[in-house]
Every structure is written in structure tokens, then in C-alpha cells.
Amino acid sequence: MICSGIVLGAIRGDPASVLSALTDGADNSMKLILSLCGSYLLWMGLINVANRAGLTEKLAKLMRRPLSLLMPNIGEAAAPIALNLSANFIGLANAATPFGIEAMKQLSVQNGRKTTASKEICMFLALNASAVELLPTSVIAVRAACGSADPYSIVLPTFISSLFAALAAVLTCKCFEEIKG
Amino acid sequence: MSYIVPFGIFLLLGYAAIKGVDCYDAFIEGAKEALPTLIGLLPNLAAMLAAIAVFRCSGVDAQIACLLASILEAIGIPKEISSLIILRPFSGSGALAMLSDILNRYGADSFIGLSASVAVGSTETIFYTLSIYCGAAGVKNARYALPAALISGIVGILCGIAALRLVLPV
């Protein structure tokens, strides 16, 4: 990706902007981590409280069966995956990311810490791309700010379409699993 | 709605306290484990976000948007939202800014405005999510995760606009 960008930048005769884009991108990673840091610490702390109280174990037991239909080799990741999907569902992006990171770490343990993604990791990543959300709060806020007569009119179509997107994610992953094994 | 999470946290802490868990101690222990993960994430993120930034500044995305506009028009989706669709997987805040621009220009309740809203609402900042999650798991080869995520995003937008036509008498 970097190489193709540099080549294209050179063809367009604007190497300076390539360099500034590289620095900006790397700069963004620091900002992203900082913006993530607080909520990650908070939610990981709370998860550990739930861990000690035996709650995550219960959640994992409950969710293992339905989730293992999608991801057969789910192991310890069932609880964080369930938390990630439900946080996304109620529109808590800040909480969803920490749970997602935790889920990925568990899936990676299950995968033998290999650098190549397992079937389960691909399925989880694809599912996360479909953004199944009850209330897309940020879009509603922008619509209200832009003087919409009915900012909520998009809730139902958005919800329906994200369900189809999730379905497409599952089916595509299953197809790729068949082809690539 | 906004009470659910605070109440949930209250229940969690209450339940843990009844179970005899030292909540403060458990919280500190959990948060401490989070720090190495975050620091470990940083190098991966720096590499991937730099790559994404260069790709975007090279002008490839503008050309894809041009191509996309003609495809969209052919299947009955307003071509005005093509740049928005390209931007969406890269930047959440950028997409929201562009959405607000589109809504102001064409009207929030016009078909263009509604399509743009649904397109943003039913998709995710795929490249950021993939970067963070793959970095966390130490995954370098995501295999088919990206194509699957992109296909799911496309299906989301197509279904969203189909649903719009069904739900709203436009």
C-alpha cells in the first residue's frame, strides 16, 4: 500500500504531500491510542471485577453455543465477543472497541498466536464491519443539526440494512472458508 | 436508554461486592493488564495508518469515486454520495463531516440526504477497526477478512437504499 501510494504520488508530481501524509498517518496512531486509552482502562478494569465475581464465565457459557455456530473454535473468546456485539448493538462504540480487542486476543490464543488469521478471526472482523446498531446516534445527531423534519426516519432502513450486511458477512466468510479451507 | 450502562455498572459492582470481591483491587489489576496491550498496539497502528494515509493522498480514492458514481447512477443510487461511500471505511469523523455537508446542500429529508444517512449508519470504519483488532491479535495476514468486510459494507448500502425505497413513499 505504501509503495503504490509513493509511486502514484510521484506520477502526480507531488512527493511532498506523500511525506506529510505518512507523518500524519503515524501521528494519528498516537491520537487514536490516546483516545482509546481511557475507555480501555475503564472497561478492562470493570471486566476484571466481573471476572472475579464469576460473571464473565456465566456469560461465556450462555453464549458459547449460539456463537459457536458461527465460530466453531471459539474457546475463551465467547464472553468478550458477546460483550463486543452487544455494546455495538446499543451504540457504545467506546466500550465495543476494548471488548473487541480482548476478543481478538483470546481468538489469537486459540489460533496458537499465529500471524495468519484463523477462520474465527476473519468471521469476527467481518461481523464487526456490518455495524448492527439499534440507534445510529451520531447520524441522527447530524441529521437533527442539519434541520431534518424527522431525524429518526432512517432508523428502520438502517437497522434492516445492517442486518443484511451482517448476513452477507457471515455468508461471505463461509464461502471463503469453503474455497480456501 | 442512557441509564442502561450506568445502571449495569452499578449492578455489576453491587453483585461483585456481595460475592465478596475486592472491587477496587480487581479493577486496578484489570486496568494494569490493559496498558501493555495498548503500547503493543502502537507500532502496528502507526504502520497501518501511515499506509492508509498515503493511499488516500495519492488520489486513487478520487478516481475510484469517479468510477463509482457512474455505477451508482446506473443502479438508481444518487451519485452524489459516491465520495462519501469511499471515505466511510477510512474515517468515521470525516464521513460525518461529509454527511453534514451533503445534508446541508441537498436537504436532510431529500432522497439524497436519506441515502447518505443510511449509507453512513449501516457501515463501519472498516480499515480502522481492522488495523486495531489485527494489531491487538498480532495478526499480519488477515486473509479474506478485508474482502468479506467490504462485501458486507456494499451489501449494507445496497439494502439500505432498497429499504429506503420500500419504507418511505418518495
DSSP B77-97: --GGGHHHHHHTTT-HHHHHH
Distances (CA, A) of B6 to A88, A141, B152: 16, 22, 32
**pLDDT value for B55:** 75
Check residue A136 and give its pLDDT.
83
pLDDT score, position B50 = 84
Quick one: pLDDT at residue A104?
93
| Candidate ranges A49-63, B63-77, B128-142, B147-161; pick with highest mean pLDDT | B147-161
Identity of the residue in A48, A90, A165 whose CB atom sits nearest the CB atom of B122: A165
Number of structural domains chain A divides into: 1
In this structure, the dihedral spanned by the alpha carbons of residues A30, A33, A35 and A38, taken in order and rounded to 10 degrees, is -140
pLDDT at A64: 82
Q: Helix (H, G, I), strand (E, B), or coil: what is residue A149? A: coil
DSSP A13-67: T-HHHHHHHHHHHHHHHHHHHHHHHHHHHHHHHHHHHHHHTTHHHHHHHHHHHHH
The answer to whether residue A13 is domain-embedded is no
Half-sphere exposure of B65 (CA within 13 A, CB side): 14
Q: What are phi and psi of A54, to 5 degrees?
A: 80, 15
Q: Is the pLDDT of residue B116 over 90?
A: yes
CB < 8 Å to B128, chain A: 32
Restricting to B residues 70-99, those with a Cβ less than 8 Å away from any Cβ of A are 92, 96, 99
| Chain-centroid distance, C-alpha B166 | 25
Give residue A23's pLDDT: 86
In a domain, A170, yes or no: yes
Which one-letter DSSP state was computed for residue B22?
-
What is the predicted pLDDT for the residue at A4?
65
In a domain, residue A24? The reply is: no
Measured between beta carbons, the chain B residues lying within 8 angstroms of A128 are: 124, 129, 133, 149
Establish if A6 belongs to a structural domain. no
Q: What is the pLDDT of residue A39?
A: 82
Coil vs helix vs strand at B141: strand
Buried b (16+ CB within 10 A) or exposed e, B71-92: ebeeeebbbbbbbbbbbbbbbb
Name which of B2, B88, B136 is nearest A84 in CA terms: B136
The average pLDDT across B116-141 equals: 88
Residue A57 lies in a domain: yes
Residues of B in contact with A168 (CB under 8 A): 151-152, 155-156
Partners of residue B77 in chain A, C-beta under 8 Å: none
User: pLDDT of chain A along its 181 residues, tens only?
Assistant: 666 666 666 666 567 777 888 888 888 888 878 877 888 888 888 888 988 888 888 888 888 888 888 888 888 888 899 989 888 887 777 788 889 999 999 999 988 878 899 999 999 999 988 878 877 888 888 898 888 898 888 888 998 898 999 999 999 999 998 887 5
Q: Which domain holds residue A128?
A: 36-180
Is the residue at A2 inside a domain?
A: no
Q: Check residue A11 and give its pLDDT.
A: 67
The confidence band for B66, taking pLDDT boundaries of 50, 70 and 90, is: confident
Q: Is A86 exposed, middle or buried (0-12, 13-18, 19+ CB in 10 A)?
A: middle
Which residue, among A91, A78, A80, A81, has the nearest Cα to A139 in the 3D structure? Answer: A91
Q: If you average pLDDT over every residue of chain B, what do you get? A: 86
Q: What kind and span of H or E run contains A3?
A: helix A2-11
**For residue range B9-55, what is the model confidence (pLDDT) as tens digits?**
899 999 999 988 899 999 999 898 888 888 888 888 888 788 878 87
Assess contact for A24 and B49: CB atoms under 8 A.
Answer: no
Burial of A13 (0-12, 13-18, 19+ CB in 10 A): exposed
Whether A12 maps to a domain, the answer reads no
Q: Which runs of consecutive H residues, i.e. helices, occur in B19-144?
A: 23-57, 60-74, 82-87, 92-106, 111-121, 126-137
Model pLDDT, residue A175: 93
B145 contacts A125? CB cut-off 8 A? yes
Q: Where are the domains of chain B?
A: 35-167
- Nearest chain B residue to A108, by CA: B137
The three-state secondary structure class of A137 is helix
Q: Is A19 part of any domain?
A: no
Q: How confident is the model at residue B123 (pLDDT cuts 50, 70, 90)?
A: confident
Cell of B166: 420500500
Distance CA A10, CA A13 (A): 5
Taking a C-beta distance cutoff of 8 angstroms, is the pair A9, B57 a contact?
A: yes
pTM equals 0.82
In this complex, the residue of B5, B19, B59 whose CB is nearest that of residue A53 is B19
